[in-house]
Amino acid sequence: MGQNQSRLENAPILTVENLRVVFSKHGREVQAVNGLNYQLSSGRTLAIIGESGSGKSVGVRSLMGLLPPSAKVTGSVRLNGRELVGLSEKALMSVRGKEIAMIFQDPAASLNPTMNVGSQIMEAIRLHNPMKKREAEVKAIELLKLVRLPSPETRIRQYPHQLSGGMRQRIVIAIALASDPKVLIADEATTALDVTTQAQIMELLVDIQERLGTAVIMISHDIGLAANYAHDVMVMYAGKVVEHANTKSLFSNVQMPYTKALLGAVPQLTTIPHSRLTVIGGHPPDLSNLPTGCPFAPRCPRATNVCTAEEPPLERQNDQHSYACWHPVGGQPLEAAGTADVLKVDAQDGACSESSTSTQERAVFASSLDERAKR
C-alpha cells in the first residue's frame, strides 16, 4: 500500500510529448518550438533556460492556449490525464487559472490600473469559485497574507500605482493562486525586480510550493536562479531541448557546449571591475531557415564537419542527464563525429572558449544546490 501511494505521489501531473509550435506569416513558417518532451510532478520545479528566441515562453504559453491565431500547436499536453492540445477556447477557459496559472514578467502590465488590487484578486477568485463578494474579499485577504503582503486589509483597497514593484508582483502571484492551480508558470517573474526583492519573491514561491505542493515551471535567462531554486533544468536552443538534467547533475557535469557558454557568461565576483563581460559569439539562428546539422554549430568552438552535416539527437545518458551534442564537453566524441578541424568563430564576437567554465566554477554552482536538491 505504501509503495503504491508513493508511486501516485511521484506520478507526473503534467506530461508534454512532441510539442511543436509553428507560426505562419507571409508564406514563411517559423518553427518556434520543435519536439518538446518533459514531465513534471507535484512539488517539483522545472527551470527552462536559454537566450531570447529559444522557444521558452512560446512553449509554456502554448500549454494554456495563450498564443495568437497564427500559431499552429501540435503534439500532446496532458494535465492530470486531460489532453489540452486541441481544446476549444471555452474549454481552455475552464483550465486557465483553475488547473494551470501563469505569473507574467511585468506586474505593472499584468494589473489593471483602473481597479484596486482587491477587486482584481476577487475577480480571479469568483471566476472559478462562485461565491458572494464578501466571501471573496475574505479569501483575497487570506491570499495576500499567504504572499506575505503587509497590512493586507489596507492594501486590498489600493491601486497598482500605489504599490512598489515587489508588492505588485506579490499581488500577481496572489491572483495566480486564486483557484489553487496544480501547475504554476513563472515567466521571467523576477526580471523587473531588484536583486533583494527578486530573492524574496523566489523564497516566497518556494514556501508556497512546499505548503501547497504546486508544480512550478520557471522560465528564466538567469542561470543562477535555476541553480538555486529548481529541481530540474532544461536548456533550450533554437526551439529544441539541448540539455536536460536534475539541477545538481547539470551544473556539476555540463555536457552541451551551449550550456557551458551560458554558464561562462555569468558574471563572477572575482571579475576585475570594468573588464569586458564574457558573451556567446555570433547570433541565434533564423527559426524560419535553420542551418543543416546542429543549430549551435556556427557559434560552437567544438564544432566539426559532422556538426554542420548532421543534427545530434537528444540522448539520455543516464536517468538524470540527457544532451544533444556530437562532442560533449565532459565526454568522448561520438562515433559519428569526424576528425575534421574545429570550425573557427570570429574572436571579435567573444565566442566561448574551452576554459570559459572551469571545474572550480561548476563546483561553486553545485555546492549551492545541496540543500535544495535533497527536497
pLDDT at 11 over 70: yes
pLDDT at 243 over 60: yes
Residue pLDDT, tens place only, 139-153: 999 999 999 999 999
Query: Which of 30-34, 161-165, 212-216, 261-265 shows the lowest mean pLDDT across its residues?
Result: 261-265
pLDDT value for 221 = 83
Question: From CA 302, how far away is CA 305, in angstroms rounded?
Answer: 10
pLDDT value for 350 = 36
Q: How far is CA 320 from CA 38, 169, 225, 228, 260, in A?
A: 13, 33, 20, 18, 18
Tell me which CATH homologous superfamily contains domain 10-230.
Answer: P-loop containing nucleotide triphosphate hydrolases (3.40.50.300)
pLDDT at 78 over 80: yes
CATH 3.40.50.300 residue spans of the chain: 10-230
pLDDT value for 357 = 39
pLDDT at 16 over 70: yes
pLDDT grade for 112, boundaries at 50, 70 and 90:
very high
pLDDT value for 349 = 37
**Percentage of the chain exceeding pLDDT 70:** 85
Residue pLDDT, tens place only, 22-56: 998 888 899 999 999 999 999 999 999 999 889 99
Q: What is the 3-state secondary structure (H, E, C) of the chain?
A: CHHHHHHHHHCEEEEEEEEEEEEEECCEEEEEEEEEEEEEECCCEEEEECCCCCCHHHHHHHHCCCCCCCEEEEEEEEECCEECCCCCHHHHHCCECCCEEEECCCHHHHCCCCCCHHHHHHHHHHHHCCCCHHHHHHHHHHHHHHCCCCCHHHHCCCCHHHCCHHHHHHHHHHHHCCCCCCEEEEECCCCCCCHHHHHHHHHHHHHHHHHHCCEEEEEECCHHHHHHHCCEEEEEECCEEEEEEEHHHHHHCCCCHHHHHHHHCCCCCCCCCCCCCCCCCCCCCCCCCCCCCCCCHHHCCCCCHHHHHCCCCCEEEECCEEECCCCCCCCCCCCCCCCCCCCCCCHHHCCCCCCCCCHHHHHHHHHCCHHHHCC
Question: From CA 322, how far away is CA 246, in angstroms rounded?
Answer: 10
Residue pLDDT, tens place only, 307-361: 999 999 998 877 789 999 999 987 544 444 333 333 333 333 333 334 333 444 4
**Percentage of the chain exceeding pLDDT 90:** 59
pLDDT value for 344 = 34
Strand order in the sheet with 12-25: 28-41, 12-25, 71-79, 82-83
Residue pLDDT, tens place only, 167-192: 999 999 999 999 999 999 998 888 77
